[in-house]
Amino acid sequence: MSVFADVWQYLTDGSNWTGTGGILDYLVQQLLLTATALALAVAIGLPLAMWLGHIGRGGFLAINVSNVGRAIPTFALLALLVTAEWPGIATFGPFGRAGIATLIALTLFALPPIITNTYVAIREVNSEVKEAARGMGMTGWQQFRRVELPLATPLVAGGVRLALVQVWATATIAALVAGPGLGRIITDGFANSYYGKGIAGAVVVAVVAMVLEVLAVLAQRAIDPIPRGPQHRTDDALPQNALPTTT
Protein backbone atom coordinates (compact mmCIF):
# COMPACT_ATOMS: atom_id res chain seq x y z
CA MET A 1 0.00 0.00 0.00
CA SER A 2 1.73 3.09 -1.24
CA VAL A 3 -0.64 5.29 0.74
CA PHE A 4 1.12 4.36 3.95
CA ALA A 5 4.44 5.27 2.38
CA ASP A 6 2.96 8.66 1.44
CA VAL A 7 1.75 9.20 5.00
CA TRP A 8 5.15 8.33 6.41
CA GLN A 9 6.87 10.57 3.92
CA TYR A 10 4.58 13.49 4.74
CA LEU A 11 5.00 13.09 8.48
CA THR A 12 8.79 12.70 8.37
CA ASP A 13 9.37 15.64 6.05
CA GLY A 14 10.34 18.46 8.41
CA SER A 15 9.18 21.16 5.99
CA ASN A 16 5.59 19.97 6.41
CA TRP A 17 5.76 20.75 10.13
CA THR A 18 7.09 24.29 10.11
CA GLY A 19 6.11 27.55 8.50
CA THR A 20 2.71 28.97 7.62
CA GLY A 21 0.24 26.20 6.91
CA GLY A 22 2.57 23.67 8.52
CA ILE A 23 1.36 21.07 10.97
CA LEU A 24 2.65 22.98 14.01
CA ASP A 25 1.02 26.19 12.80
CA TYR A 26 -2.36 24.48 12.52
CA LEU A 27 -1.82 22.60 15.77
CA VAL A 28 -1.28 25.82 17.70
CA GLN A 29 -4.33 27.36 16.02
CA GLN A 30 -6.52 24.45 16.95
CA LEU A 31 -5.24 24.27 20.52
CA LEU A 32 -5.84 28.00 21.01
CA LEU A 33 -9.29 27.71 19.50
CA THR A 34 -10.11 24.70 21.66
CA ALA A 35 -8.90 26.41 24.83
CA THR A 36 -10.82 29.61 24.07
CA ALA A 37 -14.07 27.82 23.27
CA LEU A 38 -13.77 25.58 26.32
CA ALA A 39 -13.07 28.57 28.57
CA LEU A 40 -16.09 30.41 27.16
CA ALA A 41 -18.34 27.39 27.61
CA VAL A 42 -17.11 26.86 31.17
CA ALA A 43 -17.65 30.53 31.97
CA ILE A 44 -21.22 30.37 30.69
CA GLY A 45 -22.28 26.81 31.49
CA LEU A 46 -20.70 26.09 34.85
CA PRO A 47 -22.28 28.88 36.95
CA LEU A 48 -25.65 28.38 35.27
CA ALA A 49 -25.73 24.62 35.79
CA MET A 50 -24.37 24.90 39.34
CA TRP A 51 -27.08 27.37 40.23
CA LEU A 52 -29.80 25.22 38.65
CA GLY A 53 -28.44 22.15 40.41
CA HIS A 54 -28.29 23.95 43.75
CA ILE A 55 -31.88 25.21 43.62
CA GLY A 56 -32.99 21.96 41.99
CA ARG A 57 -34.84 23.48 39.09
CA GLY A 58 -34.55 23.34 35.33
CA GLY A 59 -33.60 19.67 35.35
CA PHE A 60 -35.55 18.93 32.21
CA LEU A 61 -33.69 21.64 30.34
CA ALA A 62 -30.30 20.70 31.77
CA ILE A 63 -30.69 17.04 30.85
CA ASN A 64 -32.26 17.53 27.45
CA VAL A 65 -29.83 20.13 26.20
CA SER A 66 -27.45 17.19 25.64
CA ASN A 67 -30.01 15.26 23.62
CA VAL A 68 -30.74 18.26 21.44
CA GLY A 69 -27.04 18.90 20.94
CA ARG A 70 -26.60 15.35 19.76
CA ALA A 71 -29.26 15.63 17.05
CA ILE A 72 -27.81 18.75 15.45
CA PRO A 73 -24.91 17.89 13.15
CA THR A 74 -21.83 19.94 14.00
CA PHE A 75 -21.14 20.30 10.32
CA ALA A 76 -24.63 21.69 9.72
CA LEU A 77 -24.33 24.31 12.46
CA LEU A 78 -20.87 25.32 11.29
CA ALA A 79 -22.12 25.59 7.72
CA LEU A 80 -25.10 27.73 8.75
CA LEU A 81 -22.96 30.05 10.88
CA VAL A 82 -20.39 30.52 8.15
CA THR A 83 -22.96 31.26 5.48
CA ALA A 84 -25.23 33.44 7.61
CA GLU A 85 -25.04 37.24 7.36
CA TRP A 86 -24.93 37.29 11.12
CA PRO A 87 -22.47 37.18 12.86
CA GLY A 88 -20.85 38.61 9.75
CA ILE A 89 -17.55 39.84 11.09
CA ALA A 90 -15.48 39.22 8.00
CA THR A 91 -12.56 41.15 9.45
CA PHE A 92 -12.25 39.04 12.58
CA GLY A 93 -8.82 37.44 12.58
CA PRO A 94 -7.07 35.71 9.72
CA PHE A 95 -9.96 33.33 9.14
CA GLY A 96 -12.64 35.98 9.05
CA ARG A 97 -16.12 34.62 9.01
CA ALA A 98 -15.08 30.99 9.38
CA GLY A 99 -12.98 31.85 12.45
CA ILE A 100 -15.75 33.49 14.45
CA ALA A 101 -18.33 30.95 13.24
CA THR A 102 -16.08 28.15 14.43
CA LEU A 103 -15.60 29.74 17.83
CA ILE A 104 -19.37 30.17 18.30
CA ALA A 105 -20.15 26.62 17.14
CA LEU A 106 -17.44 25.16 19.35
CA THR A 107 -18.72 27.02 22.41
CA LEU A 108 -22.30 25.95 21.71
CA PHE A 109 -21.31 22.30 21.34
CA ALA A 110 -19.22 22.38 24.51
CA LEU A 111 -22.15 23.62 26.59
CA PRO A 112 -24.38 20.49 26.70
CA PRO A 113 -21.90 18.10 28.37
CA ILE A 114 -20.86 20.80 30.84
CA ILE A 115 -24.42 21.79 31.74
CA THR A 116 -25.80 18.25 31.99
CA ASN A 117 -22.93 16.80 34.03
CA THR A 118 -22.65 19.78 36.36
CA TYR A 119 -26.37 19.84 36.99
CA VAL A 120 -26.48 16.11 37.70
CA ALA A 121 -23.35 16.33 39.87
CA ILE A 122 -24.74 19.02 42.17
CA ARG A 123 -28.23 17.57 42.17
CA GLU A 124 -27.16 14.03 42.99
CA VAL A 125 -25.21 14.93 46.09
CA ASN A 126 -26.63 12.70 48.79
CA SER A 127 -29.75 14.40 50.15
CA GLU A 128 -28.95 13.26 53.70
CA VAL A 129 -25.63 15.06 53.48
CA LYS A 130 -27.41 18.20 52.28
CA GLU A 131 -29.92 17.95 55.10
CA ALA A 132 -27.16 17.49 57.64
CA ALA A 133 -25.50 20.62 56.29
CA ARG A 134 -28.75 22.53 56.64
CA GLY A 135 -29.20 21.12 60.15
CA MET A 136 -25.77 22.42 61.10
CA GLY A 137 -27.03 25.89 60.27
CA MET A 138 -25.26 26.39 56.97
CA THR A 139 -26.65 29.03 54.67
CA GLY A 140 -27.48 28.14 51.08
CA TRP A 141 -24.13 29.50 49.89
CA GLN A 142 -22.16 27.66 52.57
CA GLN A 143 -24.01 24.47 51.78
CA PHE A 144 -23.11 24.87 48.12
CA ARG A 145 -19.52 25.98 48.63
CA ARG A 146 -18.52 23.62 51.43
CA VAL A 147 -20.65 20.52 50.85
CA GLU A 148 -22.11 20.22 47.38
CA LEU A 149 -19.21 21.56 45.35
CA PRO A 150 -16.44 19.39 46.86
CA LEU A 151 -18.56 16.27 46.54
CA ALA A 152 -19.56 17.10 42.99
CA THR A 153 -16.12 18.13 41.73
CA PRO A 154 -15.14 14.82 40.05
CA LEU A 155 -18.37 14.71 38.05
CA VAL A 156 -18.19 18.38 37.13
CA ALA A 157 -14.63 17.83 35.96
CA GLY A 158 -15.87 14.84 34.01
CA GLY A 159 -18.29 17.08 32.16
CA VAL A 160 -15.54 19.52 31.28
CA ARG A 161 -13.42 16.60 30.10
CA LEU A 162 -16.19 15.41 27.78
CA ALA A 163 -16.55 18.96 26.52
CA LEU A 164 -12.82 19.10 25.77
CA VAL A 165 -12.99 15.99 23.59
CA GLN A 166 -16.07 17.39 21.90
CA VAL A 167 -14.48 20.77 21.22
CA TRP A 168 -11.33 19.20 19.80
CA ALA A 169 -13.41 17.10 17.42
CA THR A 170 -15.59 20.03 16.38
CA ALA A 171 -12.54 22.21 15.82
CA THR A 172 -11.29 19.57 13.39
CA ILE A 173 -14.56 19.67 11.46
CA ALA A 174 -14.22 23.44 11.11
CA ALA A 175 -11.92 22.71 8.18
CA LEU A 176 -14.91 21.50 6.18
CA VAL A 177 -16.12 25.10 6.14
CA ALA A 178 -12.64 26.53 5.58
CA GLY A 179 -12.10 27.28 9.26
CA PRO A 180 -8.77 27.15 11.08
CA GLY A 181 -7.05 24.11 12.51
CA LEU A 182 -5.49 20.76 11.71
CA GLY A 183 -8.54 19.60 9.81
CA ARG A 184 -7.24 21.79 6.99
CA ILE A 185 -4.51 19.26 6.31
CA ILE A 186 -7.13 16.53 6.04
CA THR A 187 -9.50 18.46 3.79
CA ASP A 188 -6.66 19.82 1.62
CA GLY A 189 -5.30 16.32 1.16
CA PHE A 190 -8.65 14.89 0.19
CA ALA A 191 -9.62 17.82 -2.03
CA ASN A 192 -6.43 17.35 -4.04
CA SER A 193 -6.54 13.53 -4.03
CA TYR A 194 -3.28 13.63 -2.05
CA TYR A 195 -4.51 10.99 0.37
CA GLY A 196 -1.16 10.55 2.07
CA LYS A 197 -1.39 14.15 3.31
CA GLY A 198 -5.04 13.76 4.37
CA ILE A 199 -4.30 10.62 6.33
CA ALA A 200 -1.18 12.15 7.90
CA GLY A 201 -3.35 15.01 9.16
CA ALA A 202 -5.82 12.49 10.55
CA VAL A 203 -3.04 10.68 12.41
CA VAL A 204 -1.91 13.92 14.07
CA VAL A 205 -5.49 14.85 15.00
CA ALA A 206 -6.18 11.41 16.47
CA VAL A 207 -2.93 11.31 18.45
CA VAL A 208 -3.50 14.78 19.92
CA ALA A 209 -7.10 13.84 20.78
CA MET A 210 -5.89 10.86 22.78
CA VAL A 211 -3.13 12.85 24.48
CA LEU A 212 -5.68 15.50 25.49
CA GLU A 213 -8.00 12.83 26.84
CA VAL A 214 -5.23 11.26 28.93
CA LEU A 215 -4.16 14.68 30.26
CA ALA A 216 -7.78 15.48 31.09
CA VAL A 217 -8.22 12.23 33.00
CA LEU A 218 -5.06 12.96 35.00
CA ALA A 219 -6.23 16.51 35.70
CA GLN A 220 -9.61 15.22 36.76
CA ARG A 221 -8.00 12.90 39.29
CA ALA A 222 -5.66 15.61 40.53
CA ILE A 223 -8.36 18.15 41.34
CA ASP A 224 -10.63 15.76 43.21
CA PRO A 225 -10.63 17.31 46.71
CA ILE A 226 -11.75 14.13 48.44
CA PRO A 227 -9.14 11.40 48.88
CA ARG A 228 -10.44 8.17 47.40
CA GLY A 229 -9.02 4.69 47.53
CA PRO A 230 -7.64 3.07 44.39
CA GLN A 231 -10.91 1.21 43.88
CA HIS A 232 -12.85 4.48 43.88
CA ARG A 233 -11.26 6.19 40.96
CA THR A 234 -12.94 9.31 39.66
CA ASP A 235 -13.91 7.44 36.50
CA ASP A 236 -16.44 5.52 38.49
CA ALA A 237 -18.02 8.77 39.57
CA LEU A 238 -19.06 9.49 36.01
CA PRO A 239 -22.66 8.67 35.22
CA GLN A 240 -23.43 5.77 32.97
CA ASN A 241 -23.00 6.46 29.29
CA ALA A 242 -20.86 9.46 30.06
CA LEU A 243 -19.66 9.63 26.49
CA PRO A 244 -19.14 12.81 24.58
CA THR A 245 -21.31 13.46 21.60
CA THR A 246 -18.46 12.81 19.27
CA THR A 247 -18.17 14.69 16.04
Partner 1 sequence: MPVTLLVSAAEPSCYNRTVNEWWCTAYLTDYRSELVDATVEHLLITISAVLLGIAIAFPLALLARRFVRLETGIMGASTALYTIPSLALFPLLVPFTGITATTVVLGLALYALTILVRSILDGLASVPDDVRESARGLGYGRASQLFRIELPLALPVMMGGLRVATVSTVALTTVGALVAHGGLGNLIADGVLTNFKAELMAACVLSVAIALLLDVLIVVTERLVTPWTRTRVRT
Q: Smallest distance from the beta carbon of 202 to partner 1, in angstroms?
A: 4
> Any contact of residue 202 with partner 1 (CB under 8 A)?
yes
Stretch that binds partner 1, among 18-26, 152-160, 202-210, 218-226 (CB under 8 A): 202-210
Which stretch, 36-44, 132-140, 169-177, 219-227, contacts partner 1 (CB under 8 A)? 169-177
Q: Is 4 in the site for partner 1 (CB under 8 A)?
A: yes
* From candidates 28, 63, 209, 219, binder to partner 1 by CB under 8 A: 209
Residue 231 interacts with partner 1 (CB under 8 A)? no
Report the alpha-carbon distance of residue 160 to residue 65 in Å, rounded: 15
Q: Does 168 bind partner 1 (CB under 8 A)?
A: yes
Using CB under 8 A, list all residues that contact partner 1: 1, 3-4, 67, 70-77, 79-80, 82-83, 165, 168-170, 172-173, 175-178, 183, 186-187, 189-190, 195, 198-199, 201-203, 205-206, 209-210, 212-213, 240-241, 243-247
